[in-house]
């Protein structure tokens, strides 16, 4: 009886695991830096000194599929494919035409230092296609910065990063967390 119950539990968890949605968005590069040159990071650094740096710049390069995925198809990560996921569409890759990015910078004690919302319509980027592994993608850069000594409310900054320690930056796409990175504030 215990084996039957264990088999049922494993089947339920396996269905949930293999039927989960996979993100069709590729993350090209995510970093923090001290500034941009020609819309590209001037450097990459994960620690910032109050006396040396003026801003913490966040930069993420993302690639979106140029075409919608077929319903019911998902990126194959396992030898066994759950039939429920394939035929029900539970594993389909939904790619929105209009996307909402939320970028949150969080202090070591959990305070939200900055929160910025960006909108992007992928149809506006149809002429900027790049090819990766025989697939066509549309690039999009999410960039924002906060001041270390000066506030930038136009960038969603509500607090100065006055705590010493490890901060984290969360990036959400249409309400789902897709990336996280860290930086350290030092004196």
**Plot region of 175 (φ>0 → left; ψ -120 to 50 → alpha; else → beta):** left
Q: What pLDDT does 126 receive?
A: 79
CB of 30 closer than 8 Å to CB of 179: yes
Helix (H, G, I), strand (E, B) or coil at 157: strand
Question: Can you name the residues that pair with 55 across neighbouring β-strands?
Answer: 147
pLDDT for position 79 = 54
Per-residue pLDDT of the chain (187 residues; tens, 9 = 90+): 666 555 545 554 444 444 445 567 888 889 999 999 888 899 999 999 999 999 999 999 999 998 754 444 455 555 555 555 545 555 445 568 899 999 999 999 999 999 999 999 988 887 889 999 888 999 999 999 999 999 999 999 999 999 999 999 999 999 999 999 999 999 9
What local confidence, expressed as pLDDT, does residue 3 receive? 62
Q: Which residue has the tokens 């506030």?
A: 151
C-alpha separations of 144 from 58, 60, 91, 102 in Å: 5, 9, 32, 11
- In contact, 63 and 26? CB cutoff 8 Å: yes
Please state the domain extents for the chain.
Answer: 2-186
| End-to-end Cα separation, the chain, in angstroms | 62
Distances in whole angstroms, Cα of residue 23 to Cα of each of 26, 64, 73, 107, 135: 8, 10, 12, 27, 15
Of all helices (H) and strands (E), which one includes residue 119?
strand 112-121
pLDDT in tens, 145-167: 999 999 999 999 999 999 999 99
b/e burial code for range 157-174 (CB count within 10 A of at least 16 → b): beeebeeeeebebbbebe
Q: Check residue 15 and give its pLDDT.
A: 44
| Strand 130-132 with 135-147, pairing | antiparallel
Task: State pTM to two decimals.
Answer: 0.74
Query: How would DSSP label each residue in 37-53?
Result: ETTEES---SEEETTT-
CATH architecture group of domain 2-186? Sandwich (2.60)
């Amino acid at each position: 009886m215990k084996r039957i119950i264990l088999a049922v539990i494993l089947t339920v968890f396996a269905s949930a695991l293999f039927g989960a949605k996979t993100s069709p968005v590729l993350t090209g590069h995510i970093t923090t830096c001290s500034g941009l040159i020609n819309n590209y990071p001037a450097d990459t650094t994960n620690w910032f000194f109050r006396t040396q740096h003026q801003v913490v710049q966040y930069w993420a390069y993302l690639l979106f599929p140029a075409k919608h995925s077929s319903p019911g198809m998902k990126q194959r990560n396992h030898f066994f494919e759950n039939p429920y996921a394939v035929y029900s569409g539970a594993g389909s890759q939904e790619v929105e035409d209009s996307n909402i990015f939320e970028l949150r910078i969080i202090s070591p004690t959990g305070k939200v230092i900055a929160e910025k919302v960006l909108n992007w319509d992928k149809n506006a980027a149809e002429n900027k296609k790049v090819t990766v592994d025989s697939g066509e993608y549309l690039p999009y850069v999410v960039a924002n910065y906060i001041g270390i000594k000066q506030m930038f409310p136009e960038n969603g900054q509500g607090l100065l990063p006055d705590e010493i320690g490890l901060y984290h930056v969360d990036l959400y796409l249409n309400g789902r967390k897709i990336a996280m990175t860290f930086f350290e504030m030092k004196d």
